[in-house]
Structure 1
């Protein structure tokens, strides 16, 4: 039982370390679907000869 508690403490410490190092650069909003994603314009067609 104590191994579970130690494992949880280690996991929590690693998670807090990663979050503190990333700062505000972490995006926890999930997948992006819809208008807020970046869109790319199609490449212009080659001119006929």
Structure 2
């Protein structure tokens, strides 16, 4: 593939994939950061419990 089409052949079709994936990842990141900030400001304890058998 590299010999016939060159280095660019490995990246054919990446633009449509980025256009499809990027908006969803932006939403995921935004929601994650929002929830993280809200939890840090809340009075919830972030300590773990004890594990006992």
TM-score (normalizing by structure 1) = 0.48
**Structure with the larger helix share:** 2
TM-score (normalizing by structure 2) = 0.45
